[in-house]
Amino acid sequence: MGMDEPRPPASRHIALAAELTEEIAAGVYPVGGRFPTEQELQERFAVGRHTVREALKVMAEQGLLWRRRKTGTVVLAERPVSPYVHSLRDLRGLFDFAQSTRLTVHHEGYAALSDRTLSGFTDLPDKRWLRIAGLRTTRADDAPLCWSEVLVPERFVPDRDQVRTGERAMYEIVMEQFGLKLDHVEQEITAGELPRQFASLLRAEAEAAALIVRRRYVAHTGATFEISHNLYPASRYSVRSVLRQRV
């Protein structure tokens, strides 16, 4: 994957991090060795300083790099060793998540409002929803991350061929196709046990601790156009947020 291809600004640092991660896995930069400087990476990939810093931050959070002022950056591991760290400072963080992971669809069909998959949210007028469910993996090393279920009201069902590729997030496709703008995302994280039927698929122990992340996507019109449920082995996922005092 070349960095000379045009990409949306929000995904550029994710693409850079993925490419550099692949190079580390291939032995281009050995463990314990020096990693290129920010300036070297800027020149090589023709990207800005911010893009490089954000890419290196992602790799450091995954345990691949150790960064220290004056001494430079050192490679710590061939593959990510820490849980997936999801930095949520704004809505762009959700788009970054979609760019750094991939969904392989296992099930596709319609669900009624009364189904348990829609539990946890209220004020949903739509009665019929398209349900897409499957295994979400990291793009960097194709490691299983979570079991993901995405539900979209029938009136907002997007081009299903685009959905099946797993290359773009469902909400991105829906917004583009129906001319919607994302107003806000409601998120709820709860703890539980990993059901036995998902353990082998996720390469985890049955009944181990799990995290359930539920999100509701609301458009500028006030309509809920997507609900997602992601089930993670607890050791695979961490959320990092920045909370600021209102002035």
- 8 A C-beta contact, residue 220 and residue 183: yes
CA angle 58, 105, 12 (to 5 degrees): 25
This prediction has a pTM of: 0.67
Q: What are the structural domain ranges in the chain? A: 9-75, 84-241
Tokens of 201: 């698929």
Which pLDDT score is estimated for 220?
A: 95
pLDDT on residue 5 = 41
142: left (phi over 0), alpha (psi -120 to 50) or beta: left
d(CA 5, CA 193) in angstroms, rounded, equals 42
Given the DSSP bridges, would you call strands 224-233 and 144-153 parallel, antiparallel or unpaired?
antiparallel
User: Residue 50's Cα: distance from chain center in Å?
Assistant: 20
For position 54, what pLDDT does the model report?
A: 86
Quote the CA–CA distance of 124 and 14 in Å, as a whole number: 34
pLDDT score for 38:
93
- Confidence at residue 76, expressed as pLDDT on a 0 to 100 scale: 82
Task: List 104's β-bridge partners, or say none.
Answer: 135
CATH no. for 84-241: 3.40.1410.10
φ/ψ of 120, rounded to 5, equals 100, -15
**What is the structure's pLDDT at 118?**
61
Which residues of the chain carry a pLDDT beneath 50? 1-10
pLDDT digits 0-9 by tens, 63-103: 788 877 667 888 888 887 666 666 665 666 676 677 778 88
pLDDT (0 to 100) of residue 42: 95
77 touches 39 (CB < 8 A): no
Residue length, the chain? 247
Question: What sign for the dihedral angle of Cα 195, 199, 204, 206?
Answer: positive
Q: Around Cβ 203, how many Cβ atoms within 10 Å?
A: 10
By the 8 A CB rule, do 12 and 99 touch?
A: no
Q: Any idea what DSSP says for residue 118?
A: G
**Does the domain spanning 9-75 belong to CATH 1.10.10.10?**
yes
Cα gap 76→24, rounded to integer Å: 10
**Cβ-based neighbour number of residue 149 at 10 Å:** 19
Strand 84-88 and strand 237-241: the pairing is parallel
